[in-house]
Structure 1
Amino acid sequence: MENTSETSAAFVSSISKEHDILMGAVYSVFCVLSLTGNGILLLVAYHKRSTLKPAEYFIINLSISDLGMTLSLFPLAIPSSFSHRWLFGEVVCQLYAACGVLFGLCSLTNLTALSSVCCIKVCFPNYGNKFSSSHACLLVAAVWCYAFVFAAGPLAQWGHYSPEPYGTACCIDWHAPNHELSALSYILCLFIFCYALPCAVIFLSYTFILLTVRGSRQAVQQHVSPQSKTINAHALIIKLSVAVCFGFLGAWTPYAVVAMWAAFADALLVPPTAFALAALFAKSSTIYNPMVYLLFKPNFRQCLCRDASTIRHRISGGVHLGRMSVVHMQTTAF
């Protein structure tokens, strides 16, 4: 009974009801934007699937993981925020936390793979030109396996999942390292291999790309080669990838800082509001990818406009046929 009452108390919100309602409202906006943006991006990618470049497979995979996070987290977090407590019990709490870790790590690992591929294509073109769609698919599968190992760890008693300190969501138990060695080892591995190392790879990859592009700019300006269009296409993908990567890292870094503060310092000193705000920023990561690619990538934008025009013509054609049939019925009746 004591454990049940402690668990029940952990599921009660520790921030004000007004803040919970505000979080629920913001989560609702994020949910709609993520479903709309990622859904449209996947639809556009499906329509142009025959012309997709290998690097764009990672953009599609990022949208899939963002949709997974949106569909598994927001429908539970939104009503819990409005109700001022977690509504779905211990078992669902564990699954919620596992999904959050799985899709979050998949997105970060996916962006790490994307930055590495872009670096190889630009800095080592002899190898990069051999990178094919089948290689991209294998790397995407490896990304999911890598994320799954760390997401399954707490379910196998390597680390723990528990209610968030603010009470209306669940994630990794950041307090456990203060009193349990296995939890400490899990969080150390998580920090090194799922945050510090990916961030280092991303920063180094784009630094090498910047240095390579600067070094070859004069040569490109003096000699316009037949491959200039391909180079420009790669340059655009790299610019957009940088925007998505840094948007994602900007969203998740506050949560990483607060989590490490709780794990390696006195967890009681971390205010629940800090966790709540950090979680809010982290969940905003689901909307950056479609915004960047649908707004700034010309062929995605053109495909979207073409699809919208087709749908509009079909709707207007359907309305026109409907009117004609009504007129025909009225004429026949008379």
Structure 2
Amino acid sequence: MATTTAADLLDQAAGGGAPTAETDGDAFASKLTREADIIIGVYLILIGTGSTLGNGRVLWLSYRNWKKLRPVELLVASLAVTDVGISLFGYPFAATSSLLGRWSFGTAGCTWYGFTGFFFGITSIATMALMSLLRFMIVYKGYPGSYPSRRKTGIIVAAGWLYGLFWACLPLAGWSQYHVEPFGLSCTVDWGSFSRDANGMSFILCMIIFCTAVPVAAMVASYAAIFYIYRRAKKGVDRHLKNNAVMSQKRREVERSITLMALAVCGGFLFAWMPYAVVGMWSAVAGADAVPIALASAAPLFAKSSSLWNPIIYLGMSDRFRLNMCGCFVTPTQSQTAVHAHPQQPGAPLPLSPRGPLVSNLPTAVGPLPGGLQATNIQ
């Protein structure tokens, strides 16, 4: 009785919630083959486990070196929290349902899964957009004093989370709803409401604009401007650097690393999420039946892999993170070089640098890399 009551209350809050078997056919049954269900379940278990371990390690390093973190690195920790959150509060539901061959948590569970996925997803997008804007402002000002305070950065972090919470609560308040996805194994915002009524159409349009187009535009514009500044710095004509040959040289030394890190962070995000956005818009305009079921299931599954990508990027571009994450990722030469470059006190944890676990030994005058991270010199 208690479970039914909770489900009814949550269903009412969602404005009807996801369809039930009685009102919309067996919407919670998988539309895929049994083999595909099992493959998806195993895939989600692997992605969720890898994301939890990788991002959990980022959070552990941040916690152990909390007082040494630069303010901008709080955004990195915030991003790791969103990835761990969706891995712990979302993926287990979808993985279990996939292995069982149907969504197994009812209407209330569907609403919960849709809410958590949308909440952590939009918070992650907003955080990455704020990272890119903050990175641009630091590079544009071009001097160490341009770093924001921890208090201001905390406000920025809170803004990203509040933005995600705001959008995730709208379907619960009756503006559209959370709905089972076409393949029947997970739930998300009701893309199909776009073609059914003005309520759904207005929500989907606003979501596309403010949760996809605006953050992506902010990231692309910020990183494009950063690359432009560094190109001018390389030619010795940038007005912020022309009277500071030392800073100009330092910037030239890390230009390639900055470019690679920016492309990895921004490009990886877009690569993972854009197929899902395109498929969602296709489904909204043409109807769910117009999208091949294989594509309708593959796009959101690929987007879920984004929670695992950031730790992989850190592993690939930071020797210090590899040393902390797993010694087997570092050759003996790299390990000796890193230890001699940053000697530690006996028994002390080995952070990624003396300034904090997510910063390299590059000169601080150039500011952190895109996304608040410093990369080691890449030859």
TM range (shorter): 0.7 to 0.9
1:256 aligns with 2:277: yes
- The structure number with the bigger radius of gyration is 1
CA distance in 2 between partners of 1:223 and 1:125 (Å): 10
Aligned residue pairs total: 310
2:364 aligned residue: none
Picking from 279, 294, 298, the partner of 1:273 is 294
Picking from 148, 160, 164, the partner of 1:147 is 164
SS at match of 1:10: coil
SS at match of 2:179: strand
Q: Which amino acid is 1:249 matched to? A: L
Kept in 2: contact 1:12–1:84 (CA 8 A): yes
1:192 aligns with 2:209: yes
CA distance in 1 between partners of 2:98 and 2:20 (Å): 24
Q: CA deviation at 1:50?
A: 2.4
CA distance in 1 between partners of 2:119 and 2:259 (Å): 25
**Pairing of 1:63-142 with structure 2 (within 5 A):** 63-125=80-142, 129-142=146-159
1:317 aligned residue: none
Q: CA deviation at 1:300?
A: 3.3
Structure 1 residue ranges, 4+ long, deviating more than 4 angstroms after superposition: 220-224, 226-239, 302-306
1:329 aligned residue: none
2:332 aligned residue: none
SS at match of 2:90: helix
Change (3 A) 1:44 1:253: same
CA distance in 2 between partners of 1:107 and 1:214 (Å): 29
Q: CA deviation at 1:169?
A: 0.5
CA distance in 2 between partners of 1:243 and 1:99 (Å): 26
Q: CA deviation at 1:297?
A: 2.3
Provide TM-score, normalisation by structure 1.
0.84
1:293 aligns with 2:314: yes
Kept in 2: contact 1:113–1:139 (CA 8 A): yes
Bigger shift: 188-197 or 296-305?
296-305
1:217 aligns with 2:238: no
Q: CA deviation at 1:304?
A: 4.4
Deviations 1:165-223 (A, max 9, x none): 00011111111111110111111000001101111111111110011000011337996
Kept in 2: contact 1:102–1:147 (CA 8 A): yes
2:10 aligned residue: none
CA distance in 2 between partners of 1:230 and 1:134 (Å): 28
Kept in 2: contact 1:175–1:263 (CA 8 A): yes
Change (3 A) 1:121 1:156: same
Picking from 30, 41, 47, the partner of 1:24 is 41
Structure 1 stretches lacking a partner, 5+ long: 315-334
Change (3 A) 1:271 1:200: same
Kept in 2: contact 1:120–1:127 (CA 8 A): no
Bigger shift: 3-12 or 257-266?
3-12
CA distance in 2 between partners of 1:143 and 1:192 (Å): 16
Change (3 A) 1:228 1:44: farther
Structure 2 stretches lacking a partner, 5+ long: 1-18, 330-334, 336-343, 349-379
Change (3 A) 1:3 1:47: closer
CA distance in 2 between partners of 1:300 and 1:231 (Å): 23
1:169 aligns with 2:190: no
Kept in 2: contact 1:159–1:183 (CA 8 A): yes
Q: CA deviation at 1:265?
A: 2.0
Larger helix percent: 1
1:181 aligned residue: 198
1:158 aligned residue: 175
Change (3 A) 1:237 1:18: same
CA distance in 2 between partners of 1:207 and 1:175 (Å): 35
Change (3 A) 1:302 1:52: farther
Deviations 1:35-68 (A, max 9, x none): 1101111111222222222222111111100000
Structure 1 vs Structure 2: percent identity of aligned residues? 34
Picking from 42, 53, 68, the partner of 2:70 is 53
Bigger shift: 232-241 or 40-49?
232-241
SS at match of 2:22: helix
1:318 aligned residue: none
CA distance in 1 between partners of 2:61 and 2:258 (Å): 16
Provide TM-score, normalisation by structure 2.
0.75
1:244 aligns with 2:228: no
Kept in 1: contact 2:182–2:288 (CA 8 A): no
Q: CA deviation at 1:130?
A: 4.5
1:206 aligned residue: 223
Q: CA deviation at 1:266?
A: 3.2
Q: CA deviation at 1:8?
A: 6.1
Kept in 2: contact 1:44–1:300 (CA 8 A): no
